[in-house]
Amino acid sequence: MKLPESDGRRRVIIEGIAPQVDSGRFPIKRTIGEMVAVEANCFTDGHDLIDCVVQYRHDGDAEWHEVPMSSSGNDRWCGEFPVTEIGLYLYRIQGWVDRFLSWRHDLRLREEPEDIAVALQMGADRVEHAAGRASGRDAERLHNFVTALRGHGDPVERRLVGLDTELLELMERYADRRLATISERELSVVVEREKARFSAWYEFFPRSCGVDHGKSHGGFRDCEERLAHVASMDFDIIYLPPIHPVGESRRKGPNNSLVAGPEDPGSPWAIGSEAGGHKSLHPELGTLEDFRHFCTVAEELGLEVAIDIAFQCSPDHPYVTEHPEWFLHRPDGSVQYAENPPKKYQDIYPFHFETEEWRSLWEELYSVLTFWVDQGVTIFRVDNPHTKPFAFWEWVIGEVQREHPDILFLSEAFARPNVMYRLAKLGFSQSYTYFTWRNTKWELTRYMQELTRTEVREFFRPNFWPNTPDILPEYLQFGGRPAFSSRLVLAATLAASYGVYGPAFELAESRALRPGSEEYLDSEKYQTRSWDLKRRESLADYMRRVNTIRRDNAALQSNASLEFFTVDNEEIIAYGKTTKDLSNIIVVVVNLDAYHTQSGWVELPMEELEIDPHHPYQMHDLLSGSRFLWHGPRNYVELDPQRSPAHIFRLYRRTRTEHDFEYFF
């Protein structure tokens, strides 16, 4: 006979811990200042009562901190802790049979004086043991309780000593945990800075800035006016497509044509030439000093610069000749270019990650990232990460963030859900999504519920883009300005992070390459473009209002509270976000029909929003400045897409009277 190695006297069972991702294989995600709410099933045999705590610590600390858990019924326990530093936190649950709580519970139920007297003596022993674990004033108070419990007089009256709330607090503080159970696996949460959760991105091509100054190819020094313009719209991240030298061989011409003229700049994603590769700047963009100056000007304007990382090469990239072992070669000895049949990308050579020299390849790509970190870059938008090994991303992101924990990574992977989710689990801070192609109320509602009401919310931070240089969705091609306005509001309020391919979106560019195509006509990927951003029909003012609303309302800076509301019209979608204390309540109503006025009755959950059903409440449309009095749960809305396809309401639960001047109505 062999007894178990573990202590069989540890009787508390801990299971069903949430949140955790893939049984703890990957960390959950939070940003500085957020809370981690933890739940678990905790129970024991028999009738004894138990107590539980969540224990947590930053990976760099040796000492565990803890917060109490409370029972929510049916053996489910809940507790939460704050995360206040960037980096990795560990958390676990500890539970124990609490003999004092069990004793106190039974003491309350005892009726016979003799039984009560015996119980008081037993309780005094437990309190005395706790006094031995305490010190100072607490130890003195516990010894006083021991004396009182062992005193003389009516046991029924002395029972009140055992039920004293101060005694309960002291005994919880010095509980006997010698036989406590600790959850089998330490779980983890990776904490990043706020921009991982809340950000507004604006993409533009620096080389097009020169067109405004009479040049065929712009540089960083030409872009300062553009930076000021973007900052005036209250965006906070500038995203630049690849800024490296562009290959000459097989360079693509306008509209992705196979033949380029001598002045055609080619695609920035065809990286590498005689001027250098991934650690070089395109000569016409300027020098590294010019780039750093560009970043400094952006920072002074409240903007952060994100650059594109595309781990691929043009045929002219120095890697092709210096490291031919990093590429796949065809039977004729030529390097295999990128393909996604029937599409061919003759100007791009992908890396061969199954090469025997994969270690040197990984090390070099890591050095590319750290090179740009050394230049001051703190955000990378990664092109097509789903075409590189998962193991590589887990390693390289981990290594970069180990040395530079404030670095953020955005995954540009329009792939199958499992692939997109795996990349997020591996370390990407944010991810592109299917929002670009979700247009109906049913599609939007179902997709957002998947992102915010399942375990996906613990590791996948969506970044909504209504357009990109590669994608001009059909809805934007034919819906005119109302379509751009409604998609802007949806992207910016459904998700805490969103972005636009800026000038094209701002000017409602809707010309497709051909019918049925999602490619732009005269795409900026293959040529420089002149954008008259001062045109009267520009959406800049509308974009500014939306971004200012996001910045001024904390409810819109997270996805956790998103809830959809019933509307009796399939062309109108309504939803809300709130802060935890309901001090900020935002209700968004959007007309999804870009062509016709739509109306309907919106139903709000009065009790959930703590609205008095017997009194009116104010709805302040932050887009137009208009204010409305709503009554009860159902209220009428009507939206003309030609005027504004959306309301972004801030809900106030009280209205101004002669006795209440909290705010102006």
The identity of residue 175, as a single letter, is A
Contact 107/119 with Cβ under 8 angstroms? yes
In angstroms, rounded to a whole number, what is the distance separating the alpha carbons of residues 648 and 539?
17
DSSP sequence for 223-234? GHHHHHHHHHTT
Q: Is 239 exposed, middle or buried (0-12, 13-18, 19+ CB in 10 A)?
A: buried
* Positive or negative: CA dihedral 190, 84, 376, 504: positive
Contact 292, 328 (CB under 8 A): no
Task: Report the C-alpha gap between 629 and 68 in whole angstroms.
Answer: 43
Q: What is the DSSP letter of 210?
A: G
**Angle CA(553)–CA(505)–CA(481) in degrees, nearest 5?**
85
Q: How far is CA 625 from CA 4, 138, 596, 657, in A?
A: 70, 57, 23, 20
Q: Are 247 and 317 in contact (CB under 8 A)?
A: yes
| Angstrom distance (rounded) from CA 206 to CA 224 | 10
CA pair distance 195, 31, nearest whole angstrom: 8
Asked if 648 and 622 count as a contact pair (C-beta separation under 8 A), the reply is yes
**Rounded Cα distance, 382 and 428, in Å:** 9
Q: Catalytic residue positions?
A: 383, 412
Q: Residue with structure tokens 């709410």?
A: 37
- The secondary structure of 139-188 as a DSSP string is HHHHHHHHHHHT--S-HHHHHHHHT-HHHHHHHHHT---TT-EE-SS-EE
How far apart are alpha carbons 520 and 630 in whole angstroms? 44
| 606 residue type, one letter | M
Which amino acid makes up residue 593?
D
E strand or H helix at 76: strand 76-82
Q: CB–CB of 336/327 below 8 Å?
A: yes
In whole angstroms, what is the distance from residue 250 CA to residue 253 CA? 9
